[in-house]
Structure 1
Amino acid sequence: MICSASSPYRLVSVSTDKNKLDVAFIQQFLKDIYWAAGRTMEEVQITIDNSFCFGIYLNEKQIGFARVITDYVVFAYLMDVFISEEHRGKGYSSILINSIMTEPKLKEVKIWRLATSDAHFLYEKFGFTALGNPEKMMEKKVT
Structure 2
Amino acid sequence: MDEDAKRLDFARLHDWLTNSYWSPGITCDRVERAAAGSSLVVGAYLNDLQVGYLRVVSDRATFGWIADVFVDADHRGKGIATTRMRFALDHPQHQNLRRWVLATRDAHDVYAKCGFSPLPNPERFMILKPRGGQ
Query: What is the distance in 1 between the residues matched to 2:83 and 2:47?
Result: 15
**After the TM superposition, which parts of structure 1 deviate over 3 Å for at least 4 consecutive aligned residues?**
none
Alignment partner, residue 118 of structure 2: 130
Secondary structure at 2:119 match in 1? coil
Alignment partner, residue 18 of structure 2: 31
Q: How far did residue 100 of structure 1 move?
A: 1.1
Q: Alignment length, in residue pairs?
A: 130
Establish whether residue 53 from structure 1 lines up as the match of residue 41 from structure 2. yes
Gaps of 5+ in 1: 1-13
Gaps of 5+ in 2: none
Q: How far did residue 50 of structure 1 move?
A: 0.3
Query: What is the distance in 2 between the residues matched to 1:106 and 1:60?
Result: 27
Establish whether residue 84 from structure 1 lines up as the match of residue 72 from structure 2. yes
Query: What is the distance in 1 between the residues matched to 2:127 and 2:115?
Result: 24
Secondary structure at 2:66 match in 1? strand
User: What's the TM-score once normalised by structure 1's chain length?
Assistant: 0.87
Q: How far did residue 108 of structure 1 move?
A: 2.1
Choose between structure 1 and 2: higher strand proportion: 1
Choose between structure 1 and 2: higher helix proportion: 2
- Map 1:1-143; keep pairs closer than 5 Å: 14-51=1-38, 52-143=40-131
- Output the amino acid matched with 1:62: Q
Q: How far did residue 25 of structure 1 move?
A: 0.7
- Output the amino acid matched with 1:97: M
Q: How far did residue 73 of structure 1 move?
A: 1.1
Secondary structure at 1:67 match in 2? strand
Q: Between 93-102 and 120-129, report the one with greater CA deviation.
A: 93-102
Q: Residues 86-137 of structure 1: CA distance to partner in whole angstroms, max 9, x if unpaired? A: 1011121111111111111111211000000000001011111111111111
Secondary structure at 1:100 match in 2? helix
Secondary structure at 2:81 match in 1? helix
Query: What is the distance in 2 between the residues matched to 1:61 and 1:84?
Result: 10
Query: What is the distance in 2 between the residues matched to 1:113 and 1:138?
Result: 13
Query: What is the distance in 2 between the residues matched to 1:132 and 1:91?
Result: 27
